[in-house]
Amino acid sequence: MAIDVNRGAQSPVGPSAFSKPGAREARILSMGGGKGGVGKTFMTANLALALARMGLRVVAVDADLEGANLHTCLGVRTPRNSLADFVAQREDDLVKLLVPTHHPNLQIIAGTHANLAEAQPGHLRRVSLMRALRKLPADIVLLDLGAGSHAAVLDYFLVADDGLLVVQPEPTSVENAYTFLRAAFYRRLRLAMVGHDVRSLVSQAMDQRNERGIRTPFDLLREIELIDPLEGRRFAETMRRFRPRIIINEVRTAEDVKLGFAISSVCRKYFGIEVDYLGYVNFDEAARQSVAARTPIIESREGSDAAIYLQRIAKKLAGASNGGEPVMDTVDAST
């Protein structure tokens, strides 16, 4: 497969051939969250089904090659072929990896059978994966990301039209969500910068204990403006365009519901980014049982609170993208 990385793009934040998808390109949503066990796969399975039920053609992709189980949540037996075949270059045609579910409009690409030694695709393979995902015969491609904040996960998150973050109302989950956001945000910013000096400044700032005392993106912006006002402008523009969306999972109280607003406020005031609070799903013992029963809760307990909230989120997702910009076409191959 030809790889055409748009190196040194003149204006990384401007529109490009790939950030303005043609009418038939699939919209990509990524489900991340930093921490394991917060409900990414549960959320992916249910939102994928909810979107499919709304009449959209949906492909749910298990990009968590190290802990693949999306297929199980959707009641699909371990498929013979999976994304691992694409990553290992045994198969270049993603369409051949599609597996039907018993739900109309919903197909999956599983993440099983990965040779864990090669579970992380190299950068170029990630780029071609992203291109191929957009070309799938679907309206929406929903990527279930693994835990952690390593480069591949961050890129899947950044390249998506919408990066979704699942957070539980627990200190550990909130903390990991910030770690993840921060890592993704700085990666995005660094990729947007053209000049070498400015890039290395961003890299320095990624270390929170940097010597220059740069604590927040606002500090960094000031430093960059001193070096090069045009890069500063580009930086500010990138900040504006980085618009992840959060979902609070396992909400038990009204306080938990408000956590979403609090996180979004902190993101504004501290990181200078707009985080859209997409919605919340209440804690429900049946949610855990639904995973065991290998049936999404919106199917097994239709009409339950959790199902109602999940469908509400799906409706919002189907409504519109949040204005963020995909990024992979601006990624240069050296990273």
Partner 1 sequence: MNGDGVDIGDRPLTQDLKALPDQDHYEVLEIGRNADSEEIERAYALTRAAYSSEGLAVYSVYDEQDTSAIRDRVEEAFRVLSNADTRRAYDEKVAEPEGPISAGVQTPPSPLTNPREETLLEAGLLDVESIGNPESDIEEESGDFDGAKLRRARLRRGFELEQIADITKIGAAHLRRIEDEEFADLPANVYVRGFVTAYATTIGLEPERVVAGYMARVEAARAQPRSRFRYRS
DSSP 284: -
Q: How many CB atoms lie under 10 A from the CB of residue 122? A: 12
Verify binding: residue 28, partner 1, rule CB under 8 A.
no
CA 150 to chain centre: 13
Q: Which of 231, 274, 299, 329 lies at the binding interface for partner 1 (CB under 8 A)?
A: 274
**Minimum distance from residue 306 beta carbon to partner 1 (Å):** 11
Residue 120 C-beta: closest distance to partner 1, Å: 27
313 contacts: CB under 8 Å, gap ≥ 6: 47, 50, 247, 278, 279, 281
Stretch that binds partner 1, among 81-89, 121-129, 140-148, 265-273 (CB under 8 A): 265-273
Site for partner 1 in 276-335 (CB under 8 A): 276-277, 279-280, 282-283, 303, 305, 308, 312, 321, 323, 325
- Restricting to residues 144-183, name those near partner 1 by CB under 8 A: 169, 171, 174-175, 178
Q: What is the dihedral of CA 3, 100, 137, 330, to 10 degrees?
A: -40
Closer CB to partner 1, residue 208 or residue 334?
208
How many whole angstroms separate alpha carbon 63 and alpha carbon 32?
A: 10
Which range touches partner 1 (CB under 8 A), out of 43-51, 69-77, 135-143, 261-269?
261-269
| CA angle at 126 for the pair 123 and 132, rounded to the nearest 5° | 150
Angle made by CA atoms 79, 154, 211, in degrees to the nearest 5? 155
Considering only residues 231 to 260 of the shown chain, the ones binding partner 1 according to CB under 8 A are 233-234, 236-237, 239-241, 251-255, 257-260
Interaction of residue 35 with partner 1, rule CB under 8 A: no
Considering only residues 54 through 83, tell me which ones interact with partner 1, judged by CB under 8 A. Answer: none
The residue range among 69-77, 91-99, 266-274, 326-334 that interacts with partner 1, by the rule CB under 8 A, is 266-274
Whole-angstrom CA distances from 148 to 11, 183, 231, 276, 297 are 30, 10, 30, 21, 26
- We find the least distance from the C-beta atom of residue 270 to partner 1, in angstroms, to be 5
Residue 174 CB, shortest distance to partner 1, in Å, is 6
Strand 140-144 versus strand 27-32 pairing type: parallel
Q: In the window 190-229, what residues touch partner 1 (CB under 8 A)? A: 216, 218, 229
Q: Does 21 bind partner 1 (CB under 8 A)?
A: no
DSSP per-residue letters across 244-263: -EEEEEEE-SHHHHHHHHHH
220 HSE (CA, 13 A, CB side): 30
How far apart CA 244 and CA 277 sit, in angstroms, is 9
Type of residue found at 310: L
Closer of 128 and 264 to partner 1 (Cβ): 264
Nearest to 151 by CA among 190, 115, 113: 190
**Nearer to partner 1 by C-beta: 102 or 268?**
268
Distance between CA 166 and CA 270 in Å, rounded?
20
C-beta of 1 vs 257, nearer to partner 1? 257
The site for partner 1, by CB under 8 A, has a size of: 54
CB of 47 to partner 1, least distance (A): 17
Residues in contact with partner 1 by CB under 8 A are 11, 13-15, 169, 171, 174-175, 178, 216, 218, 229-230, 233-234, 236-237, 239-241, 251-255, 257-266, 268-270, 272-274, 276-277, 279-280, 282-283, 303, 305, 308, 312, 321, 323, 325
